[in-house]
Structure 1
């Protein structure tokens, strides 16, 4: 019991630190990237705003997914991991990961456009984010399905007894 709570506490701290790291990126790095892109293409007025929309738009589902992951760990602490709430949290995490991938896929032409004028290939960063989000989505979908099947088996066993 104590080891389980310790591991969920560790994961909660990791979730909190991930949230802080992305917040720092949103505050300090995204404006620099947007200004850099606007300076690369001064004749394209909405360039800066497209960067803001894409990157801040992806931050919203990221934070919602972090909240759902935090809730999932709380359900584990409360011994209610095998519940519909956990299934719903995993489904929400999957949807958030797909949304993040979708937003970055939509933004790939923009990254490519910027990468044409920049020596290091920054478009690879967008591909990494897309790939990582898709891996998370697949993992959440598998856990969602397994948890749903476990709940169904448990309810069948409860009805049998």
Structure 2
């Protein structure tokens, strides 16, 4: 039996993450694409996601970008968690907007890795930029996957 490719591993991790991530499911986050160190998610802003200004709550956008971060940093089947994150909000987002979060690995150093996430609306305008520092911990996301 041949070993799985990095792309196949990432795709399986994405499927598992989508099944296990109950918060993402509750928000209606959908996995569009998965690869080694990267992913793309989609979410429609619902009326119950707005703040007192009538725009999408920053915490919802943060959670959306953080979900992309989590999928991407675990895509190598090594358990990874967020060590530090920050976000810059660039534009308000109205209910009904369809957002896409794209995560990309920027750099690794030992057990640490830096990822950048861009959140864009349906017009391709960037509404937020998120940077996360991931730290690998013990274990695999799907134990024994590489041997499958």
Q: TM-score, normalised by structure 1?
A: 0.29
Bigger-Rg structure (1/2): 1
Where relative contact order (Cα < 8 A, 6+ residues apart) is larger, the structure is 2
The structure with the greater share of residues assigned to strand is 2
Structure with the bigger percentage of helix: 1
TM-score with structure 2 setting the length: 0.31
